[in-house]
Amino acid sequence: MTDKDLRRDVLDELDFDPSLDAADIGVAVSEGVVSLTGHVGSYAEKVEAERAVRRIKGVRAIAQEIQVRYADEKKVEDDQIAARALAIIDWSVHLPKDAIQIKVAGGWITLTGSVRWQYQAMGAEAAVRKLSGVYGVTNLITVKPEVRPMAVKDRILEAFKRSALFEADAIKISVEGDKVTLEGAVTAWAERDAAERAAWSVPGVRSVEDRIVALS
């Protein structure tokens, strides 16, 4: 695929995505590296623009230089952003109250604290980046290990055995501290993704290295 073709695919994907207004986004491509410039109306749109580009086959790397520009009437003070961020986290039944701390400076949110599950750290970031007035989010939330490595491995094996998407015996699990490594072969990418999700679902897991090979 040429850079010209790749640029056209990126532009088409940005225009197709209903969650962002790509009218003011510039796209340049050089040897498979996509550079995004211009501006959007919210931080959530900036994140979605990058996600849209990552979906395109042939993209080797992304240089993200999109700016977030709010209209004057939409500017929100840092204390208001902080209060709304705290409220949205408190309202979420999936996020532990008082476990996540929020700092806001110049519209940029920094999240700290510790949670038991990886999806909680990711969910907190997803919740606050949609708030009006936010220019960016730094997620420093840690996943606190609460189980021993052998217990982690046992719980992953149990999750594998419950899954109807793949054969648990086809995957080898190794655990070192809070890091899980998956190896083996499956018949489809969906099975590989399901195995990785099962590994992430165990409390205490902070990283998953997926070496599983999909045969088709």
Domain count, the chain: 3
Rounded mean pLDDT, 73-86: 83
- pLDDT tens for residues 46-70? 988 988 898 888 888 889 888 888 7
- Asked if residue 109 and residue 94 are part of one domain, the reply reads yes
The CATH number of the domain holding residue 104 is 3.30.1340.30
Q: Which of 14, 48, 68 finishes a domain?
A: 68
Task: State pTM to two decimals.
Answer: 0.52
The full 3-state SS of 26-94, as one line of letters, equals EEEEECCEEEEEEEECCHHHHHHHHHHHHCCCCCCEEEECCEECCCHHHCCCHHHHHHHHHHHHHHCCC
Q: Range of 54's domain?
A: 3-68
- pLDDT tens for residues 137-186? 999 998 876 656 676 777 777 777 776 666 667 788 888 877 889 888 87
- Asked if residue 188 and residue 138 are part of one domain, the reply reads no
Residue 111: pLDDT over 90: yes
Q: Which residues contact 33 (CB under 8 A, 6 or more apart)?
A: 60, 61, 62, 63
Residue 75: pLDDT over 80: no
Q: What is the DSSP string of 153-180?
A: HHHHHHHHHH-SSS-GGGEEEEEETTEE
Question: Cα separations (Å) of 50 from 11, 56, 132, 187, 212?
Answer: 12, 10, 19, 30, 26
